[in-house]
Amino acid sequence: MRNLAVIPARSGSKGLKNKNIRMFAGKPLMAYTIESAINSNQFECVHVSTDSLKYADIARQYGADVPFLRSEKLSTDEAGTWDTVRFVINEYLRLGNEFDTVTVLQPTSPLRTYGDIIAAFHIFEKKEAEAVVSVCETEYSPLLCNVLPENGSLNNFVDLNIVGRRQQSQQFYRINGAIYIQRIDLLMRKGKLYGEKSFAYIMAKRSSIDIDDDYDFTIAELLLLKRLNMSGRTE
């Protein structure tokens, strides 16, 4: 089975400017995802999908394959990730490279390790799955969440009877955005990513930060530096 990794890293970012190449514990942010993908030894090709020549050059420095750039149409805020991935697959087909699976690895999840990728693929193979998506435990129960009216009233905000019965007996999970593995035939026919043959890979919460703003960036960097110090590494 030939596996393709796609790391989406367009240059435009409203929340945190140039976050995909911002220096993070001594390296550009996306370098950690490139290196984890390569070190997992699961992929025939690790591709960074970007609209920027600068980003492409940085990606190549860390071992990624970037033989083409993303189209202008797929570089807007409205462009969908999976449309971008289909574009990548078709471009590789045009170059004579065909794959069986594609894995999307967001560069904003730098605490995901190569071990996480290997473990997710183990589930994919053991379950004979069409897709595997990473999740983690929720920080709090969604039963305590609701929308607020304009006046900020908490009337009927939560049903305390339901919360009392279910809080202690159920663990809730959320999609953490770190790993999406799926068969290419599922993607191209636009089948259900979350169907009967889709399974979860449970990641640790401490590895599941998805960087969107400065706060996320700071917390993730501190956690990574702590991890590196505990392992005795200096870089």
Q: Residue 234: its pLDDT value, please?
A: 41
Residues contacting 146, CB < 8 A, separation 6+: 157, 158
DSSP run (H or E) holding 36: helix 29-40
Where are any strands of DSSP class E within the chain?
A: 3-8, 23-24, 27-28, 45-49, 101-104, 131-137, 173-183, 198-202
First to last CA, the chain: 34
Query: pLDDT tens track of the chain, all 235 residues?
Result: 999 999 999 887 767 889 999 999 999 999 999 999 999 999 999 999 999 999 999 999 999 999 999 988 877 767 789 999 999 999 999 999 999 999 999 999 999 999 999 999 999 999 999 999 999 999 878 888 899 999 999 998 988 777 666 555 678 999 999 999 999 999 999 999 999 999 999 999 999 999 999 999 999 999 999 998 877 654 4
The closest alpha carbon to 136, from 213, 40, 200, belongs to: 200
Burial label, 16 (beta-carbon count in 10 A; 0-12, 13-18, 19+): middle
Beta bridge partners of 180: 104, 133
